[in-house]
Structure 1
Amino acid sequence: MIAEIIATGDEIRTGALVDSNSAYIADRLEALGIDVLRHDTIGDNIDLLSALFQEVGGRADIAVVTGGLGPTIDDLTTEAAARAADVQLALDEVALQDILRFFEKRHRTMTDSNRKQAMLPVASQRIDNPVGTAPGFSMRIGGCVFFCLPGVPPEMKRMLSESVLPKCRKLLGRTREASCIQTISTFGLPESTTGERLEGFGDRFPDIKLGLRAKFPEIQIRLYGRHVDEETLSNHMREAADWVREKIGHRVFSSEGEPMAAVIGRLLGDRQATLAVAESCTGGLISHWLTNVAGSSGYFLLGAVTYANTSKMSVLGVSTETLDRYGAVHEHTVREMADGVRRRSGATYGIATSGIAGPDGGTPDKPVGTVCIGISTPEGSEGSRFFFPFGKRQMNKQMFAMSALDLLRRKLMAADT
């Protein structure tokens, strides 16, 4: 079954807003075993919209359209769909009552413009919006079933999950093949090197597609499998994932698409261990990532942003002699930082970062992109130095933070061997 996705609106077309909806929808449709062959972005022009709808109606089985269902004059999706199908608009009384209740609950008066949102194409099926005012609708144009949804992401996601995807499953019916998508997350290899290591995958696993996706600072390897027999597919996917992990080695940090911080949390939890973090150049980014994971209070004890040298001394106990002799960005300094935060928090492990994120502040010996990372464990502490030639401050901070967590991950895993 073939699907296309259409994102509407001048704000999307001109780049004023980034279209995250289409990627989200494509991922969900592909997981069902529906091939998404094309994405279109189109502005607020009813002639172009209706022509595109007719074009897609002649070549796709399913189309998901986002945007253009609001109450203003530039919201044209409903009218364009009706024109493409050569039908009229009619007032949907249930939709109108839903909109009225939406405003009544908020002690507001519905405007006449909102009444427009209850006008749906004749013979379409309403898709209720439990979040906002704009109902969606489904209808057939040519040989294609169109699902028209609001462009507001929380509204779109809820309606997609509760209404559209169940209908797509029914459309697949008995012809549905078993499908599976697996994300293997890696860190530390460039995309080109990762691709080179995976050469020959297609010959070895002809029924599984492999794709690389740069999601800075990690590289994701996506496996897309489909087969008439679910057990056969499961075996093939397992063999393919094992082959990928063998080729990429310790650079794989998750076989389930987990963020690095979630992997760290699981490793610490399995060992009943705790963590404290001292950050200078990363400015709290590591702590931010760690606390994005639900349940992190069970293992994350302390995060300290010790940006100034005085803070490194007063909060972490870094010696004046170390800072005077080596400076803030040095292996000895981050060792003392990691030891200090571990000692003061009582954590099992401590990690620390100090570096030069840029765009200035570098020297010939310590250019922009230099970072030192310290790890303190019950067995001792160590400091390491790395250089990442990205230049941009935000990218450097992300690389520094990810590198610190990856060093800890490998330390935790090595302790088991």
Structure 2
Amino acid sequence: LPLADAVICTGGLGPTADDITTEAVAQAFSLPLYKDESVLNHIKDIFAKRNLVWVENNTKQAIFPQGARVIANPLGTAAGFALKVDGKWIFVIPGVPRETQKMFPEGVIPILRREFPQNEQYVARQTIKTFGISEASVDKNLEDIDFAALGVNVGFYPVFPENHVVLVSRQTTAEAAEEKLKLACDEVVARLNKYIFSYGEETLEEIVAGLLKEKKLTIAVAESCTGGLITNRLTDVPGSSEYLERAAVTYSNAAKVSLLNVPAAIIEKHGAVSEETARLMAEGVRKMAGTDLGLSSTGIAGPSGGSEAKPTGTVYLALSDAGQTICRHYVYRWDRKRNKMFFSQAALLMLKNYLQGKDK
């Protein structure tokens, strides 16, 4: 605390024995603890609404050091608090990311702005999401950019199967922050453009959902090697019933024949993992469902089942509309679980590019 005007702590505010942040702060400054009845009632209301059995140790989450100002938690049971000691501020909030992200701007930032107006900066931030390039290669491609000279901090964040570049500019005016951020973004885009699929916090499935809704298109999905993962990701977005009509996991050859009308002779000649089969799967599910689009996946997730011609990690992805069917072939070198994630990512990216007119 002697080294800073404010200290921010996250975590350790739950009801269990190892949640000791509140007690530690109180002990550090020789402060008694008190129970906040309004916070306790809030916690009990949450339990009642969720039909949970009340356990007395949850009362611990309504205990605070004397003199602390409660920071409300609208998303959970663990409230935070702000405490001023000898002119210094201590902020304690939950470690659960979504709760932290909600409480920090509402409960911490206003106090910091009021107490330290001379330190206020304008922050401009941009997340650039890439796929199909490693974290090391991202760094290598950007190594000639002098971000410090541009007045921007850069961070690299692997979020499998993606790699994110986060640019942050802190300046004395909003205009200066935005200007410097744009210059840095332009430099990054010039070097990574073919790998970039998003500028911002939206997930790939959220982008796809927005495009399908915007264009008022419906889709059906036929999955083999991905086992429903593509559909799962599509339905992670609220409102997916507006565009997703149905999906089928046609894992066996018999399922591909009986449900999607893929001719057995095609599978026998080319194999279940082939461009020909992928195309017919996409066309079959589109016709079966009566949708605008049909999306399919067939591949070898591993660890066994590969061959010299079709190694483990091989996938064929197809997308069909009333006028054409496009197919893409990739080989990824991961374990089974990661291969499936890569397959689903590539399928959604193909769909996104098609909807944006980039892949037809």
Is 2:192 aligned against 1:251? Answer: no
Alignment equivalent of 2:339, drawn from 368, 376, 396? 396
Partner of 1:49: none
Return 357-366 or 392-401, whichever deviates more.
357-366
Q: Which amino acid aligns with 2:81?
A: F
Alpha-carbon shift at residue 355 of structure 1 (Å): 0.8
Within 5 Å, give how 1:152-301 maps onto structure 2.
Answer: 159-202=103-146, 206-301=150-245
Alpha-carbon shift at residue 130 of structure 1 (Å): 5.2
- Report how many aligned residue pairs link the two structures: 356
- Seen in structure 2, the aligned counterparts of structure 1 residues 287 and 327 have a Cα distance that, compared at 3 Å, is same
Alignment equivalent of 1:96, drawn from 32, 37, 58? 37
Secondary structure, counterpart of 2:310 in structure 1: coil
Q: What is the alpha-carbon distance in structure 2 between the residues aligned to residue 415 and residue 217 of structure 1?
A: 21
Q: Residue 262 of structure 2 contacts residue 281 of structure 2 at CA under 8 Å; is this kept in 1?
A: yes
Is 2:348 aligned against 1:411? Answer: no
Q: Residue 96 of structure 1 contacts residue 115 of structure 1 at CA under 8 Å; is this kept in 2?
A: no
Q: Residue 188 of structure 1 contacts residue 251 of structure 1 at CA under 8 Å; is this kept in 2?
A: yes
Return 229-238 or 308-317, whichever deviates more.
229-238
Alignment equivalent of 1:77, drawn from 21, 27, 30? 21
Secondary structure, counterpart of 1:170 in structure 2: helix
Q: What is the alpha-carbon distance in structure 1 between the residues aligned to residue 198 and residue 83 of structure 2?
A: 41
Alpha-carbon RMSD across the aligned residues, in angstroms, is 2.9
Q: Residue 60 of structure 1 contacts residue 143 of structure 1 at CA under 8 Å; is this kept in 2?
A: no
Secondary structure, counterpart of 2:192 in structure 1: helix
What 5-or-longer segments of structure 1 have no aligned partner?
A: 1-56
Q: Which amino acid aligns with 2:37?
A: L
Secondary structure, counterpart of 1:201 in structure 2: coil
Q: Residue 79 of structure 1 contacts residue 89 of structure 1 at CA under 8 Å; is this kept in 2?
A: no
Q: What is the alpha-carbon distance in structure 1 between the residues aligned to residue 226 and residue 58 of structure 2?
A: 47
Q: Residue 67 of structure 1 contacts residue 152 of structure 1 at CA under 8 Å; is this kept in 2?
A: yes
- Seen in structure 2, the aligned counterparts of structure 1 residues 358 and 101 have a Cα distance that, compared at 3 Å, is closer
Return 244-253 or 333-342, whichever deviates more.
244-253
Q: Residue 39 of structure 2 contacts residue 62 of structure 2 at CA under 8 Å; is this kept in 1?
A: no
Partner of 1:325: 269
Q: Which amino acid aligns with 1:229?
A: T
Alignment TM-score, normalising by the size of structure 1: 0.76
Partner of 2:298: 354
Return 136-145 or 372-381, whichever deviates more.
136-145
Return 407-416 or 206-215, whichever deviates more.
407-416
Q: What is the alpha-carbon distance in structure 1 between the residues aligned to residue 60 and residue 343 of structure 2?
A: 51
Secondary structure, counterpart of 1:148 in structure 2: strand
Alpha-carbon shift at residue 117 of structure 1 (Å): 5.2
Alpha-carbon shift at residue 225 of structure 1 (Å): 0.8
Q: What is the alpha-carbon distance in structure 2 between the residues aligned to residue 98 and residue 67 of structure 1?
A: 18
Q: What is the alpha-carbon distance in structure 2 between the residues aligned to residue 174 and residue 326 of structure 1?
A: 70
Q: Residue 279 of structure 1 contacts residue 307 of structure 1 at CA under 8 Å; is this kept in 2?
A: yes
Secondary structure, counterpart of 1:314 in structure 2: helix
Within 5 Å, give how 1:33-112 maps onto structure 2.
Answer: 57-70=1-14, 73-85=17-29, 87-92=30-35, 95-96=36-37, 98-99=39-40, 102-103=43-44, 106=48, 111=56
What 5-or-longer segments of structure 2 have no aligned partner?
A: none
Q: Residue 150 of structure 2 contacts residue 183 of structure 2 at CA under 8 Å; is this kept in 1?
A: no
Alpha-carbon shift at residue 143 of structure 1 (Å): 6.1
Q: What is the alpha-carbon distance in structure 1 between the residues aligned to residue 288 and residue 322 of structure 2?
A: 14
- Seen in structure 2, the aligned counterparts of structure 1 residues 81 and 234 have a Cα distance that, compared at 3 Å, is same
